[in-house]
Amino acid sequence: MTFPSRATASSRALAAAGLALALAACGGSGVRPAAAHGSPSPSSSASPSASPPAAAARVYPLTGLPVRNPAAARRPALSVKIDNIAPAMPQAGLNRADLVTDILVEGGLTRLMATFQSQDVTLIGPIRSARPVDADLLRELNGGIFAYSGAAPGEIAPSKAHSNALLIANDNAPQWFWRSSSRAAPHNVFSSTSRLYQAGRASGRKLVAPPQLFSYGPTPAGARAAKGVTLRFSPNTSSAWTWNGTSYVRTQDGRADMVADGSRVSTTNVVVLSVTWHSTNIIDDAGNADPYVVVIGSGPVTVFRNGVAIAGHWVRPSYRVPMKILDAAGHPIPLQPGRTWLELQPRPYSPALF
* Separation CA 157–CA 143 (nearest Å): 15
* Separation CA 154–CA 14 (nearest Å): 7
Contact 218, 335 (CB under 8 A): no
User: What was the pLDDT predicted at 90?
Assistant: 97
Q: What is the mean pLDDT of residues 94-113?
A: 97
Q: For residue 61, which amino acid is it?
A: P
Q: What is the mean pLDDT of residues 16-40?
A: 36
Residue 72 lies in a domain: yes
Strands 145-148 and 166-169: parallel
Residue 264 lies in a domain: yes
pLDDT in tens, 258-298: 999 999 999 999 999 999 999 999 988 788 899 999 999 99
- Structural domains in the chain (count): 1
CATH code of the domain in which 304 resides: 3.50.90.10
- Range of the structural domain that residue 338 is part of: 54-354
Report how far Cα 292 is from the mean position of its chain's Cα atoms.
15
Residue 192 lies in a domain: yes
User: What was the pLDDT predicted at 285?
Assistant: 76
Q: Which residue has the higher pLDDT, 57 or 94?
A: 94
* Separation CA 332–CA 218 (nearest Å): 12
Residue 234 lies in a domain: yes
Q: Give residue 11's pLDDT band: very low, low, confident or very high (50, 70, 90).
A: very low
Closest by CA position to 218, among listed 333, 63, 95:
333
Residue 47 lies in a domain: no
Give the HSE-up count for residue 214: Cα atoms under 13 Å, Cβ half-sphere: 23
Q: What is the mean pLDDT of residues 292-316?
A: 98
Q: Give residue 163's pLDDT band: very low, low, confident or very high (50, 70, 90).
A: very high
State yes or no: pLDDT of 5 exceeds 80. no
Q: What is the mean pLDDT of residues 339-343?
A: 98
State yes or no: pLDDT of 241 exceeds 70. yes
Q: Which residue has the higher pLDDT, 338 or 56?
A: 338
State yes or no: pLDDT of 28 exceeds 90. no
State yes or no: pLDDT of 225 exceeds 80. yes
Residue 22 lies in a domain: no
Q: What is the mean pLDDT of residues 191-197?
A: 98
Buried b (16+ CB within 10 A) or exposed e, 57-85: eebbbbbbbebeeeebbbbbbbbbbbbbb
Residue 170 lies in a domain: yes
Residue 2 lies in a domain: no
State yes or no: pLDDT of 184 exceeds 80. yes
Phi, psi of 31 (to 5 degrees): -115, 140
